[in-house]
Amino acid sequence: MTSVTATASIVIIGAGQAGVQTAEALRAGGFEGAITLLGDEPHGPYHRPPLSKAWLAGEMDAAQLVMRAPEMLARKGITLRTDTTVAAIDRAAQTVRLADGSALPWTGLVLATGAMPRRLPLPGGDASGVFALRGRDDASAIADRMALCIEQQQPVVVIGGGFIGLEVAATARKKGLPVTVLEAAPRLLGRVLAPTLSDWYAELHRSHGVQLVLGAQISAMDVGTDGAVAGVRLVDGTVLPAGLVVVGIGVAANDQLARAAGLECDRGIVVDTCGRTSDARIVAAGDCTARRLADGSLLRLESVQNATEQGKSAAAALLGQDRPFTATPWFWSDQYDKKLQMAGLSTGADHWAVRGDMTAGSFSVYHFKGERLLAVDSVSASKDHLQARKLLDAGKSPTPAQAADTAFDLASLLA
């Protein structure tokens, strides 16, 4: 599809961050045809990040979680259908088949199906009280279970020391619950953080009373006679009692519909930097994608920024325009009173420089490969973060010594 026509109709599968962004960007880009946003959840579009943070802590009400009220979408001529699952895509007929057997025609199709949490295939892994956290209903169920744990004085075990696991651990500690985090790797967030920052986060959690087990090998969940989880058993025979287990061991892209329809997929729906799939009439955005970079490699990101930017690119592509998403990736995580803000991709870093005072809890870690700046992770140092995005967008690198020297004005590199 290369032109904006009133008779065209665009179907968007997935009413999350990327789906909503694409719908709104289509309207903002002048598209006048029908837009139908299909979501399989019972809720209208809502913000996911608070689910492990303020929402789980009970510090946010339902209205604050709403991303776009259905009426607002309706005002823009976007038809939202919740509780609506797409079962298949027919590329030849240009339709999607819904779970109720009906078919919807499209002239342009958007895949914004997100991702699903990985499961731990362990004995007892499906006991009640064992949860993964992806959606609003998961968060509500975890919050209810936390309340029960408080009442019955039962501890929480978090499996996985990634962002979601650590945010849930911090929230559970805020509520006064005893918490153990089990991480299989030798350090927390080992794939993304510099070793020094992993150690700092381990200390942060320990200082808030979290018991951390690094290099943990889990063999099973112990299940009580009531069918509920009672503990987590390690390979060495240790049993950690638990009234609630949250499993946060990463996600897999929801690319099943795309694969079944014959679109190129490789641990995600393969898209170019403009969001086009291997079928030019079909675009994809957000957690469900694997973006092909200029060097041929594939990049999978799971972040609000990625969903938002890819949504804008995907809409432009359906309108016949190239809007490549090449900006520096960024992400954030809130744990206790500390805000981590990350800019860039740290893969391949071979040395690091720290700017600021780690003991005071406000500093940034600069990742370098040789002399080239790859990424910057800032803890409660928003100014550093914003500047890092500018440096990375402009392809400017301080030397490691300049980065570590707070007397050196990094902004001078942008002049």
Is the alpha carbon torsion for 227, 233, 238, 240 positive or negative? negative
Smallest separation, CB 13 to ligand FAD (Å): 5
The answer to whether 47 and 65 have CB atoms below 8 angstroms apart is: yes
* Residue with smaller CB distance to ligand FAD, 170 or 403: 170
Find where tokens 């420089």 sit.
Answer: 353
Smallest separation, CB 164 to ligand FAD (Å): 5
Q: Is 398 in the site for ligand FAD (CB under 6 A)?
A: no
Q: Which two tokens stand for residue 367?
A: 């990742």
- Measured in degrees and rounded to the nearest 5, phi and psi for residue 232 equal -115, 125
Smallest separation, CB 399 to ligand FAD (Å): 30
**Pattern of binders to ligand FAD over 279-298, x per CB under 6 A?**
-------xxx----------
Residue of 88, 304, 358, 413 that binds ligand FAD (CB under 6 A): 304
Specify the amino acid at residue 232: V
Smallest separation, CB 212 to ligand FAD (Å): 20
Residues 95-154 close enough to bind ligand FAD by CB under 6 A: 112-114, 133-134
Look at residue 16 and give its three-state secondary structure: coil
Q: Number of C-alpha atoms within 13 angstroms, CB side, residue 83?
A: 2
Residues 325-354 close enough to bind ligand FAD by CB under 6 A: 331-333
* Residue with smaller CB distance to ligand FAD, 14 or 160: 14
Q: Which two tokens stand for residue 86?
A: 């797409």
d(CA 404, CA 415): 20
Residue of 164, 244, 246, 253 that binds ligand FAD (CB under 6 A): 164
Q: Which residues of 164-199 are buried (b: 16+ CB within 10 A; e: fewer)?
A: bbbbbbbbbbbbebbbbbbbeeebbbbebbbeebbe
8-state DSSP, 271: E
Residues 42-81 close enough to bind ligand FAD by CB under 6 A: 48-49, 51-52
Smallest separation, CB 85 to ligand FAD (Å): 4
Residues 19-38 close enough to bind ligand FAD by CB under 6 A: 19, 38
List, in sequence order, every residue forming a beta bridge with 157; answer none if it has no partner.
180, 245
* Residue with smaller CB distance to ligand FAD, 255 or 272: 255
* Residue with smaller CB distance to ligand FAD, 223 or 392: 392
Smallest separation, CB 95 to ligand FAD (Å): 14
Residue of 2, 5, 64, 85 that binds ligand FAD (CB under 6 A): 85
The answer to whether 311 and 22 have CB atoms below 8 angstroms apart is: yes
d(CA 265, CA 285): 13
* Residue with smaller CB distance to ligand FAD, 17 or 277: 17
DSSP run (H or E) holding 356: strand 351-357
Report the C-alpha dihedral over residues 274, 275, 279, 282, rounded to 10 degrees: -120
Q: What is the total count of residues that contact ligand FAD (CB under 6 A)?
A: 36
Residue of 9, 26, 37, 41 that binds ligand FAD (CB under 6 A): 41
Question: For binding to ligand FAD (CB under 6 A), which residues are involved?
Answer: 13-19, 38-41, 48-49, 51-52, 85-86, 112-114, 133-134, 164, 254, 257, 286-288, 302-305, 307, 331-333
